[in-house]
Amino acid sequence: MNFQDNPEEAAFRAEVRDFIKNELPASAKDSDLFERGMYRGAFERLKDVRQKLAGRGWIAPAWPKEYGGAGLSVMQQFIMNEEFAENRVPPVGGMGVSMVGPTLIVHGNEEQKKEHLGRILSGEVQWCQGFSEPGSGSDLASLQTRAVRDGDDFVINGQKIWTSGAQYAHWMFMMARTDPDAPKHKGISYFLVDMKAPGVSVRPLTNLASQDMFNEVFFEDVRVPAKNLVGELNRGWYIGTTTLDFERSSIGSAVGIRLQLDELVKYAKEHEGDGTSRTGYMTSLKTELADRYVEANVSRLMSYRVVTMQAKGMIPNHEASMTKLFASELAQRIARTGVKVLGLYGQLYGEGAPMRGRYESSYMTSLASTIAGGTSEIQRNIIATRGLGLPRD
């Protein structure tokens, strides 16, 4: 890996830094939104940021310029994401920019692109993903939600689960079974569904931290116009798993972990011996903090490895799984260390608590980090079979 920017990359990094320093308001550098995600009014709070980014095509940096993106290279995307993360600037595109937009650019027809791409960039429409089902998580191809053709519509019945932000979304991109007699990968189609359509109901799922991040979504005779079918009938699996040339190094996560740890170490030093930190009489915690800091830098190096491969035209496979696995388990270890540092104060939540109660919340929410986006078990299987060449169990 080359850790130095070439002249063009250095110039672009300087441009990004200058933009953050001189054009983004202080409200854009929001640690809560950066670390906890953006739901419930956050998009409105970042409206000015969105407008400034849109002027440069940076809301969708990987999209072609003809569709309102910036057409940035893999390394330029990486640099922009890295600098934004260092300054705690949260992404404003959501799933519309990162998932359904690119899918429509590749597989959608002109009518679908015209209807949806502009509204994704403007932020007026938010999207959620309808893939997982109660009995189809790791084995997604076994999904059972049905879509049956009826004249100019498809009628959808079934259920989705773990649907992030569904209670705030205007539209869903989803996969449903359209040919129950075909092999499971070949009878699935890809649809765009209006979340306000009759028969769609959303039930939030409250997690351990009393947050409604995930949802169940139910479909009861929901009529979806046939024009909202993306690509060919029964080819939705291949559309849904399309690999696009995006910067997927998770550098934002790696930088976020290090920034969080920096704040924890700073807090421990400032409060040593005052009763709100246990580092004064638990020397072992200092060693634990050092371990976390080493791991945070390892996570960043893993991100560098992924983007280096992509910049060379290679496709990271088990390397990306290693990065995801390590970062998600590290997030849990840092949350655990944070609670230890704060002692009994680590059980408090709210603005008046030490460190604003961050570790009471992160200790509970980090539980999902090794489940969402592919479980640790799935990642280890990928690493074992595709990385180490071990036989399937």
Catalytic residue chosen out of the listed positions 83, 247, 295, 360: 247
Among 92, 115, 140, the domain boundary falls at 92
Give pLDDT, residue 273.
74
Examine residue 74 and state whether it is found in any structural domain, yes or no: yes
Based on the domain organization, do 223 and 263 belong to the same domain? no
Q: How many domains does the chain have?
A: 3
Look at residue 392 and tell me if it is in a domain. no
Q: Write out pLDDT tens, residues 6-63.
A: 999 999 999 999 999 998 877 666 655 555 554 444 555 667 788 888 888 999 998 9
Interval 240-249: pLDDT, tens:
876 555 567 7
Q: Are residues 381 and 258 in the same domain?
A: yes
**Domain presence at residue 158:** yes
Same-domain status, 257 and 369: yes
Question: Does residue 96 have a pLDDT over 60?
Answer: yes
Of all residues in the chain, the percent with pLDDT exceeding 90 is 58
Residues 137, 235 within the same domain: yes
Note the pLDDT of residue 372.
Answer: 81
In order of 171, 336, 348, the CA distances from 343 in angstroms are 43, 11, 10
Burial 309-348 (b: 16+ CB within 10 A, else e): bbbeeeebebbbbbbbbbbbbbbbebbbbbbbbbbebbee
Mean pLDDT within 350-360: 87
Q: Is the pLDDT of residue 279 over 90?
A: no
Residue 150 neighbours by CB under 8 Å, 6+ apart: 223
Residues 319 and 293 in one domain: yes
Range of the domain at 202: 127-239
* Single-letter amino acid, residue 74: V
Whether residue 288 lies in the annotated active site? no
Residues of the chain with pLDDT > 70: what percent?
Answer: 93
| Residues 222 and 277 occupy one common structural domain | no
DSSP 235: B
Residue 190 within any structural domain of the chain:
yes
Indicate if 154 and 215 belong to the same structural domain.
yes
DSSP-derived letter for residue 136 is B
Same domain? For 261 and 201 the reply is no
Q: List the CATH number of the domain containing 255.
A: 1.20.140.10
Mean pLDDT of all residues belonging to the chain: 88
Q: What integer pLDDT is reported at residue 40 of this predicted model?
A: 46
Instruction: Tell whether the model's pLDDT for residue 343 goes beyond 90.
Output: no
Which of the listed residues 239, 265, 291 is the one where a domain comes to its end?
239
334 vs 337: CA distance, rounded Å: 5
Are residues 374 and 289 part of one domain? yes
Per-residue model confidence (pLDDT) at position 38: 45
pTM equals 0.85
Asked whether residue 275 carries a pLDDT value surpassing 80, the answer given is: no
CATH of the domain at 215: 2.40.110.10
Among 19, 189, 234, 44, which residue's Cα sits nearest to residue 122? Answer: 44
- Domain check: are 234 and 284 in the same one? no
| In a domain? residue 47 | yes
Domain assignment present for 120: no
Better pLDDT: 384 or 92 = 384
246 is a domain residue? no
234 with 261, same domain: the answer is no
- Whether the pLDDT of residue 281 is over 70: the answer is no
Residue range 151-186, pLDDT digits in tens: 999 999 999 999 999 999 999 999 999 999 999 899
pLDDT of 137 reads 73
CATH no. for residue 47?
A: 1.10.540.10
**Listed residues 48, 74, 92: the one ending a domain:** 92
Structural domain contains residue 258: yes
Q: Which structure tokens are listed for 207? A: 């997690």
